[in-house]
Chain A
Amino acid sequence: MRGIITVVGKDMVGILAKVSGVCAENSVNVIEVSQSILQDMFCMIMLVDFEKCTVAFTEFSDKVTSIGDEMALSIHVMHEDIFNSMHRI
């Protein structure tokens, strides 16, 4: 399955490193990254593949969200299908 990680918050050093670090630790492959900075707000969207993920999806999701709590960012990990079904007919 593929998922989407979104990170929104104040820009600071090391956001991409931290999030992709957790992905690497758990064998989650990053397929695509898009990021932009709107004023001071950092906004990153990652398309990732959970095929070889070494932990359960929910556990991975908790790990990533806890980075968000540490760095005061809003991070969500969601199954790709919710976006596909909502925005594609």
Chain B
Amino acid sequence: MINTHDILETINMIQEENLDIRTITMGISLLDCIDSNIDNACSKVYDKICFKAESLVKTGEEIEKEYGIPIINKRISVTPISMISAASKGDPIKFAKILDKAAKEVGVNFLGGYSALVQKGFAAGDVELIKSIPQALAETERICSSVNIGSTKTGINMDAVKLMGEIVRESAMLTKDNGLVGPSKLVIFCNAVEDNPFMAGAFHGAGEPDCVINVGVSGPGVVRAAISKIPDADITEIADTVKRTAFKITRVGQLVATEASRRLNVPFGIVDLSLAPTPAIGDSVAHILEEMGLEQCGACGTTACLALLNDAVKKGGVMASSHVGGLSGAFIPVSEDAGMIDAARSDTLCIEKLEAMTAVCSVGLDMIAIPGDTPAEVISAIIADEAAIGMVNSKTTAVRVIPAIGKKDGEEIEFGGLFGVSPIMKVNTASPAKFINRGGRIPAPLQSLKN
């Protein structure tokens, strides 16, 4: 029999340290739903999602019960809708509404893929879809949207960057009386990945199979607890401990993914090795960094600790899973992480430090509330800066900022649930308007002569 210590360790991780499977996400291709008549296309989309994902939630709940591991979310990602709506030429909002209806029918809490990929330019349907995002997010409940505006191979589409600054603002305006849900479900990417299971940025890439199961693991609490058991260890030992812990966490993800794939008869795609925090006590990435020896997240040394953490998580996780993909790394969403919230409240953590942290971790400026009067071009410039980090470093970066309409820095907004609370962070408002209004493209960077 397996040894008692190992059994109790697993139970302790789940009960006390918040180990969970963050999401089972079913990716569904909608390419075969394209139709020149928008109503026909919508009904094909609805039928396909309901057919493919019919037993997704039920299967997730069965696995949860049988293995005793909480599976927090069951979600769906679909082909970027701009690819589908381009042929129909109608109002893309119709797709948002039908996707929302399908999500409710199958019981998933989020459906991602109200998206457009415009890193090099706008194709038919892209501009219409992007312009409809604020309305789509305001009038639906479960739809998540993302737009890819740059990549290492193509450079950055600055026309799209300009447009997205305006869209983020408009989205906040339309949902200002509804908890600012619009911008919290909108992610702007550079180097977006096609198999990401995490919301709000999940979509099902064009190179993916017809239907696929991707699993996102989590467990910042488990990593923090493991480090707390070796208070006097040197950094090499800390890195090894993180690796060993990440291995164990990922094994659970791999087990759940293969089991879900077998039961649903859908191919297994990837396990995303991410440390995704929640506002719950003991589920914070910032607290891991603090456990390594920082007084508070945001102090000098934070970027180095995060780089170590991110790399060790990947090294440990890669061996534990047959296919690793998605975003895979530590997430640093401010409002969803108790330690980040405290650090932002005490001004130890500022937006510039967060930007530096995104150069070494998974994703980017995530769930950050900014003053309500931040002009669209400043938001665009934040997006451009973040995309530049991703483009040059060949990694995914993203921006999910929330203009807190009617509030100033120093105040707080409460999103509720998984989205948490966010202190509004100060933004440098010196005007980048001329730069943003130039438009055009930042050319793709050189991939050699790296210094």
Residues on A lying within 8 angstroms of B by beta carbon are 4, 6, 8, 31-32, 34, 36, 43, 45, 47, 57-58, 61, 74, 76-88
Q: Is there a chain A Cβ closer than 8 Å to B15's Cβ?
A: yes
Q: A5 to chain B: closest CB distance in Å? A: 10
Residues on B lying within 8 angstroms of A by beta carbon are 1-4, 6-11, 15, 62, 65-69, 248, 251-252, 254-255
Q: A53 to chain B: closest CB distance in Å? A: 12
21 contacts between A and B (CB under 8 A): A8-B11, A31-B1, A43-B8, A45-B4, A47-B1, A57-B65, A58-B65, A58-B66, A74-B15, A76-B68, A77-B68, A78-B68, A81-B67, A81-B255, A82-B10, A82-B67, A82-B68, A82-B255, A83-B2, A83-B6, A88-B2
A residues less than 8 Å from B11 (CB atoms): 6, 8, 76
B4 touches A61 (CB 8 A): no
**Which 10 A-B pairs rank lowest in CB-CB distance, beginning with the nearest?**
A78-B68, A87-B6, A85-B251, A85-B255, A82-B67, A83-B2, A58-B65, A79-B67, A86-B251, A86-B248
B252 touches A82 (CB 8 A): yes
CB nearest to A78 among chain B residues: B68
A residues less than 8 Å from B68 (CB atoms): 76-79, 82
A87 touches B65 (CB 8 A): no
| C-alpha gap A2/B3 in the complex (Å) | 15
Partner of A84, one of B2, B4, B62, B69: B2
B residues less than 8 Å from A36 (CB atoms): 4
| C-alpha gap A47/B3 in the complex (Å) | 11
A4 touches B66 (CB 8 A): no
Partner of B65, one of A43, A61, A86: A61
A45 touches B65 (CB 8 A): no
| C-alpha gap A32/B2 in the complex (Å) | 11
B254 touches A85 (CB 8 A): yes
| C-alpha gap A71/B310 in the complex (Å) | 43
Known: A47-B1, A81-B67, A88-B2. 11 other contacts (CB 8 A): A4-B7, A34-B1, A43-B4, A58-B62, A78-B69, A79-B67, A82-B68, A82-B252, A85-B252, A85-B255, A87-B3
A residues less than 8 Å from B251 (CB atoms): 85-86
A residues less than 8 Å from B3 (CB atoms): 87
Q: B299 to chain A: closest CB distance in Å? A: 34
Known contacts: A32-B1, A85-B251. The answer to whether A6 contacts B66 by CB under 8 A is: no
A86 touches B1 (CB 8 A): no
Partner of B10, one of A61, A74, A77, A86: A86
CB nearest to B248 among chain A residues: A86
| C-alpha gap A32/B67 in the complex (Å) | 19
Of listed B9, B66, B69, B254, residue having the most chain A CB within 10 A: B66
